[in-house]
Amino acid sequence: MIQDIAPHVFHNEYQPEAKPVSGDPVFFVRGQMLAVRRTDERGFEVPRVGDAGVATEGLTYLFALDKTSCWLAPDRGGAEPPEGFELVHNRELRMERRGTRERMFCAYTAVHLADWYAKTRYCGVCGQPMVHHGSMRAMHCTSCGNTVFPRLNPAVIVCVCDPKRNKIVLTRYAAGRYAPIDALVAGFVEIGETMEDCVRREVCEEVGLEVTNIRYYKSQPWGVAGDILSGYWCDVVGDPTIHRDAEELGRAVWAGPDEIPGQPDDLSLTNEMMCLWRDTHR
C-alpha cells in the first residue's frame, strides 16, 4: 500500500524549529494539483529549496522522509509554479504510475495538509485570523484561544463476500467521479456511528445487501481525501441480489477469483484486499 515505504521512514512529528536547507523538497499544492516535473521512466520530481523561483520565506514544515525535511509553499492565489514545473492532478500521477511509493506517499500527505491549512486560515469561533501554534501541529486563534488540529475523515473499505458461491462484490463509481477502476464498497463514518455500523449501512445503501461476520483487516491513510481508512471483511446474509445505488455507483457485481484483475497499481487498501481475496480463493 502507499504507506509501505520501507526501508524509508516517514516522520510525521511536527518540527517548528526546523529550517529549510538547500535540496529540501517543496510542495506547491493547489487543491488536488501539485507542481511536478515528469522525468524519464515514469518518475516525477517536485521543486526543491535552491531551485529558481523557490523562496524560503513563508514555507511551512510538513514532515520528514528519512532525514530530509519536506515543506509546503504558500498559496499566493494563482501564482505560477516554478519554471520547469507544471501543475498536475494527483490522480493523473497515480494513473500514469509515476514516482516511487515513498514519493507518492509524501505527495498525498502534502495534499492532505495543504487542504487543511487552506481551510483553517480563520477561526471558526470568532472569525479572526489563525496562526501556527508554537509547539504543536495546530492552528491557534490568539483572539479567543481556539486551537484546531488537522482533520482526519474516518472511512471504511468493505469486501463483501459470499462464501457459498466463492464471490465478492466489485464496484465502480458512477461516471465522472473517479477513475474507472474496480473498487469495493466504501464510505465515510457518520456522527454517532461505530465502524461496524458504518459497514452495515454503506453496504445496504450502495448495493442493497445485508451482512454479518464483520472482521477488521487493516488501516491506511489516504491523504488526498483526508481519510483514515479501515478495511473490513464481511459475509452476505439473506438474498444476495445486488440493488445498486445508481447515483453512487456505475457498476456493482458479484465476481469470482478469475474475474478480479485488480487496480493498475498496488497503492490502495482496496486493491490489497481484492487481490488478497482473489489469490487465496483460487
Q: Which of 76, 98, 119 is the last residue of a domain?
A: 119
The range of the structural domain enclosing residue 165 comes to 153-280
Closest Cα partner for 10 from 122, 106, 154?
106
Q: Record the pTM.
A: 0.91
Q: Do both 102 and 159 map to the same domain?
A: no
Residues 104-130 have a mean pLDDT of 96
Q: What is the structure's pLDDT at 96?
A: 87
Q: Do both 94 and 158 map to the same domain?
A: no
Domains: count for the chain = 2
Q: What is the structure's pLDDT at 176?
A: 62
Helices (H) and strands (E) in the chain, counts: 4, 17
Q: Is the pLDDT of residue 177 over 70?
A: no
Q: Is residue 145 a part of any domain in this protein?
A: no
Mean pLDDT of all residues belonging to the chain: 94
pLDDT digits (tens, 9 = 90+) for 217-272: 999 999 999 999 999 999 999 999 999 999 999 999 999 999 999 998 899 999 99
Q: Do both 99 and 184 map to the same domain?
A: no
Q: What is the structure's pLDDT at 115?
A: 95
Residues 117-140 have a mean pLDDT of 95
With helix as H, strand as E and coil as C, how does 213-260 read? EEEEEEEEEEHHHCEEEEEEEEEEECCCCCCCCCCCEEEEEEECHHHC
